[in-house]
Structures are given as structure tokens and as C-alpha cells.
């Protein structure tokens, strides 16, 4: 499909990203999967290449480029080699955490944190999900109480991407128990904060190279100047940032689905059965036709959503549509692709097998797809 989405600048950037991925990512994927962790040096190398910190303003050492299409290029190139764990780690920093640091920080906070983010020296995490509350942000129990020049944080967070090695963690906590949704605030908890500890590195069925952890706060003493935004405005800030997060998940899912389709197409063209290529059988051909059509239709919607995001027009509902649709499509493509690989699709050495496991979580995080449908349906049935 001729997308007409990218300019020559994006094409030149893609060439640079592709060379970086071949040199700095592909040779190390197996090692990172085994150690359950992507080396920190990759963030620094990516920053030197202009891949990390691209949206950080130039005065703080970044690229000053907010065009989300550049992020799509990075996602597509990482997906092409099956580097889902790297893609998630980068996306957490660039698409999910960075907007909080760009939009909610004051000048002193920007000077303190943005240069390190731009240089790849600081890795970020966002800690919202709790063991008992799940996706229900209003049900969170983590609390913060003012104590002179500090806030004392108490509680636990779980399923935190980059949780093991994050230097800066954006933490949501309840600061006014009587204020309901207006009683939640955001804090930046730094690595060496007293009372802040990390639990075990969680064992997952996929994304083995990406570190996911539990975080604990026991009277964690967070300086008052680490309050992010206005007190009590945390939920509002979360809601404002969620559309970008969900679009990023959709972009990553679309890129992964496209890669899985490409691997499958190559396999069925080369693999022969009963004297002819598997691709020549009608069932295979029809499956490929269905998946190709679904991918093209999905890509058109996501491209439109990316342009809307660039212009500040992305709606909560369209982000939810993109997220649930693309992640469901990713799972459908990888499932059908694995089936067409036959027994080899079940072998871990084949990228389609890893993609099948890596992609399963996509319909869960960022708000489950059931919640996405709830968001869409509310807009449809509300009066007026």
C-alpha cells in the first residue's frame, strides 16, 4: 500500500535507524532475552544516533522534533527484526513517560531531568497499576502525605515496564482520600529515594528481554519539588496523556503485525508441500488475502490518527479505537502466521513464535481492550 505518509526526512531517518538496529540491536537480542534485561548502554547509543530523546527540546540536548511519524519509523524497524522487548522499553520512555516530563514539569524540573533523558542516561518508568486495582486508577491505594519539605509515599505498584532499571519513576498516589478523582497527584521518584525498593523481576510468557518489576514504597521520602504538575490534578494529567500512549501501542501493534505477515509470506512462498509452494494452496492464499486487506485498512486509520496527534486533534475515542483494533489484529496475524508455518511456527528459533508470545499482552496494557470498547461506547450512547 502506498501510504503517502512519510517525507524524504523520514526516509533518511529510517536508513539511519535501520543501520543502528542492525549494528546495535540485532546481535544482542538473544543475550537480552536470556538475561531478562536490555543493556542500559542501548539507550545511550540510541541517543547518540538521535533515536532516543528526539522530542526533547534542543535547549535541553534533544532533537526538538515532535512529529510522531519518526517514532513510527523506529517501531517499524525494530519490529522487522522481532525486537519487541527493545521496542517496548523505548516506547515506555519516548511515548508514555516523556510527555509527562515535557508537559507537566516546571523550568527547574526540565533543567534537572530532560538533559539526562535526551542523552539516554536516564531510563524512565510509569507506575500506575496496583496489585488490587489493575486498570482502575480511581481504586488506587498508594498514598502520599506531606511531611515538611517532603512527601511520604506508601504503597505498591506492579507490572511496571522498565521497573528494574528505571532512574525516574512517575508514580500516581492519592494525596487527598476525601477528594475522589481529584485527590490523586503525580510524583517523580528517583532511583536512590529512601524507602523506595524494587521487588522481583517478573517472569512473563513473552517479552523476555524487557524488565518488568514490582515497586514498593515504605515512607519513601520524595522531595516536594518532585511533585509533577499541580496537586490533585494527577488523574486529569493521566487522562490527557493516555491517548498518546494508546496510539503508540497501536502503532507498535501495527508494525509487529506487518512484520509477522512479512515473515509468513516469505515462509509460504519458499516452503513446499505435495510438490508445490504452500502459498499456492487456496486456503493459504485466501488467508494471506484476508490478512493483507485487514492490515491495509488498519494502517490507513492509524496513519490518520498519527497525523491528528501531530496536529493536536487526536480524540480519546479514536485513540481507543486504534488501540483495540490494532492489538487484536496483531494477535490475529501472528496466530494465523504461526499456523501457516506448521510445526516450525512452534519453534522458538522462528520469529513468528516469539512474536506470538510477545504480542499477547498488547490487548491488556494501556487499558484492556474491554475498557477501550467502554470508552468508545460511552461517546456513542451519551445524550446529544
Give catalytic residue positions.
245
35, burial (CB in 10 Å: exposed 0-12, middle 13-18, buried 19+): middle
Q: Judge residue 316's burial from the number of C-beta atoms within 10 Å of its C-beta, 0-12 exposed, 13-18 middle, 19 or more buried.
A: middle
Sequence-separated (6 or more) residues with CB below 8 Å from residue 317: 375, 376, 379
Q: How far apart are CA 71 and CA 73, in angstroms?
A: 5
| DSSP for residue 373 | H
Nearest to 251 by CA among 39, 100, 75: 75
Neighbours of 206 (CB within 10 A): 17
Report the C-alpha dihedral over residues 274, 277, 278, 282, rounded to 10 degrees. -90
Residues 6+ apart with CB under 8 A from 129: 135, 157, 158, 159, 160
CA distances from 196 to 167, 170, 211 (A): 12, 13, 18
User: What are the residues facing 189 on neighbouring strands?
Assistant: 169
CA distance 313 to 300: 17
Please report how many Cα atoms fall inside a 13 Å half-sphere around the Cα of residue 355, on the Cβ side: 36
Distances (CA, A) of 318 to 136, 170, 384: 21, 25, 19
Amino acid at each position: 500500500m502506498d501510504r503517502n505518509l512519510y517525507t524524504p526526512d523520514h526516509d533518511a531517518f529510517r536508513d539511519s535507524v535501520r543501520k543502528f538496529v542492525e549494528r546495535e540491536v540485532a546481535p544482542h537480542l538473544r543475550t537480552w532475552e536470556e538475561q531478562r534485561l536490555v543493556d542500559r548502554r542501548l539507550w545511550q547509543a540510541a541517543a547518540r544516533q538521535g533515536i532516543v530523546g528526539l522530542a526533547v527540546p534542543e535547549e535541553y540536548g534533544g532533537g526538538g522534533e515532535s512529529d510522531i511519524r519518526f517514532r513510527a519509523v523506529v517501531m517499524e524497524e525494530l519490529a522487522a527484526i522481532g525486537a519487541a522487548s527493545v521496542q517496548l522499553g523505548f516506547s515506555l520512555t519516548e511515548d508514555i513517560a516523556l510527555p509527562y516530563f515535557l508537559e507537566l514539569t516546571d523550568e527547574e524540573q526540565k533543567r534537572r531531568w530532560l538533559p539526562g533523558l535526551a542523552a539516554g542516561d536516564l531510563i524512565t518508568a510509569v507506575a500506575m497499576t496496583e496489585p488490587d486495582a489493575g486498570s482502575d486508577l480511581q481504586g488506587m491505594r498508594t498514598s502520599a502525605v506531606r511531611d515538611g519539605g517532603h512527601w511520604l509515599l506508601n504503597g505498591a505498584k506492579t507490572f511496571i515496564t522498565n521497573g528494574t532499571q528505571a532512574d525516574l519513576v512517575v508514580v500516581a498516589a492519592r494525596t487527598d482520600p476525601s477528594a475522589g478523582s481529584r485527590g490523586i497527584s503525580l510524583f517523580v521518584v528517583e532511583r536512590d529515594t529512601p524507602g523506595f525498593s524494587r521487588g522481583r523481576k517478573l517472569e512473563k510468557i513473552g517479552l523476555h528481554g524487557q524488565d518488568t518489576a514490582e515497586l514498593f514504597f515504605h515512607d519513601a521520602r520524595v522531595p516536594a519539588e518532585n511533585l509533577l504538575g499541580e496537586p490533585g490534578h494527577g488523574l486529569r494529567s493521566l487522562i490527557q496523556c493516555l491517548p498518546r500512549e494508546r496510539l503508540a501501542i497501536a502503532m507498535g501493534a501495527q508494525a509487529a503485525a506487518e512484520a509477522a505477515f512479512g515473515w509468513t509470506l516469505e515462509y509460504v512462498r519458499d516452503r513446499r508441500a505435495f510438490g508445490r509452494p504452500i502459498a499456492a494452496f487456496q486456503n493459504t492464499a485466501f488467508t494471506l488475502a484476508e490478512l493483507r486487506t485487514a492490515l491495509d485498512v488498519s494502517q490507513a486509520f492509524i496513519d490518520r490518527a498519527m497525523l491528528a496527534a501531530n496536529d493536536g486533534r487526536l480524540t480519546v475515542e479514536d485513540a481507543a479505537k486504534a488501540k483495540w483494533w490494532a492489538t487484536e489484529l496483531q494477535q490475529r496475524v501472528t496466530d494465523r502466521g504461526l499456523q501457516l508455518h506448521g510445526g516450525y511456527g512452534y519453534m522458538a528459533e522462528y520469529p513468528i513464535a516469539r512474536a506470538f508470545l510477545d504480542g499477547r499482552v498488547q490487548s491488556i496494557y494501556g487499558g484492556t481492550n474491554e475498557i477501550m470498547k467502554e470508552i468508545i461506547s460511552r461517546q456513542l450512547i451519551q445524550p446529544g
